[in-house]
Amino acid sequence: MPAAEPLRFRLNGHPVEAPSPAPRILLDLLREDLALTGTKRGCDLGTCGCCTVLLDGRPTLSCLTLARLVEGREVTTIEGLTPPQGLSAVQAAFVRAGATQCGFCTPGFVVTATALLREHPHPTRAEVVRAISGNLCRCTGYTKIIEAIESAGRGGA
């Protein structure tokens, strides 16, 4: 295989250049090549939402995205949503509500919820449910996840 042009994109606010052969999947690029392991691999088929990242601000399944497709675009992972110290408002709400159990789906939910709250700072319950309908959780019955997102939307109240 001839050496491909390196891939150039913005990752968590910084420009990145990474070698990326054509079949590379964004999830593998993030986890294996760039050691950003906060994005989780749950199914490889786009069914569970554990691998959700933001592509130009929109929730995107990194397991179904060819790395080549992010050329020139902005990718934000859970690492990029985490402040250097402490937690984001959404993350703090998840902790307070007990919305993590095993935690494996949690980064995907936090990414999805962050995108929702950027677009709709005060979502209704129905909007929250619709927004997270692409993310599966087997531990919580979603109850405390929905509570956490609603609480973050109310400014943490």
Partner 1 sequence: MAEAGAGPYRLLGGRIPYVEGPLKVTGRAEYTDDIKRPGMLVGRLLRSPWPHARLRRIDVEEARRMPGVFAVLTGERYPTPFGVLPITHDETAIAVGKARYNGDIIAAVAAADELTAEAALSRIRVEIDPLPEYSDPRMGTQRVAEPIHARGLNGSNIQKEVVQEFGDVDGAFARAAHSVRVRATFAGVTHAFTEPMATIAEATPDGRLTVWSATQVPHYLHRALSEVLGIPLHRIRVIKPEVGGGFGGKSDPLPHEIVAAALSIETGRPVKVLFDREDVFYTNHGRHPTQNDVRIALDADGRIAAYDIEALIDGGAWSSFGTVTTYYNGVLAMGPYRVPAFRYKGRRVYTNRPPSGAMRAHGGTNIRYAIEVALDRLAESTGIDPFDLRARNALPPNSTTINEFRITSTSFLQCLASARARSGWDAKFRRLPFGRGVGLGCGFYISGSNSPIHFTPKMPQSTVHLKVDMDGGIAVHSMQADIGQGSNTLLAAIVAEVLGVELERVHVQRVDSDVSPIDIGSYSSRVTFMMGNAARRAAEELRDRLLAAAAELLGRPAAELRVGHERFFVAAQPEVGVPFLDTLHRAMEKVGALTASGAYDTPPKGGTFKGARAGTAPAYSFAAYVAQVDVDPETGEYRAEKIWAAFDCGRPLNRLAVEGQIEGSIHMGLGQVMGESMNYRGARLFNPSLLEYKIPMPQQMPEIEILLVGEDDPEGPFGAKEAGEGPLIATLPAVANALYDAIGVRFTELPITPDRVLRGLDLRRQEGRPWKGS
Position among 16, 18, 82, 89 found at the interface with partner 1 (CB under 8 A)? 82
Decide: is 91 part of the binding site for partner 1 (CB under 8 A). Answer: yes
Tokens read off for 47: 């069914």
Q: How far is the CB of 122 from partner 1 (least distance, A)?
A: 19
Decide: is 149 part of the binding site for partner 1 (CB under 8 A). Answer: no
Closest CB to partner 1 among 25 and 70?
25
Query: How many Å apart are CA 71 and CA 75, to the nearest integer?
Result: 10
Decide: is 24 part of the binding site for partner 1 (CB under 8 A). Answer: no
Query: How many Å apart are CA 91 and CA 142, to the nearest integer?
Result: 16
Q: How many CB atoms lie within 10 A of CB 128?
A: 24
Closest CB to partner 1 among 9 and 94?
94
- Surface-to-core class of residue 15, CB atoms within 10 Å of its CB (0-12 exposed, 13-18 middle, 19+ buried): exposed
Tokens read off for 8: 């150039």
Interface residue list for partner 1 (CB under 8 A): 35, 37-45, 47-48, 50, 77-79, 82, 87, 90-92, 94-96, 98, 100-107, 110, 129-130, 132-133, 136-146
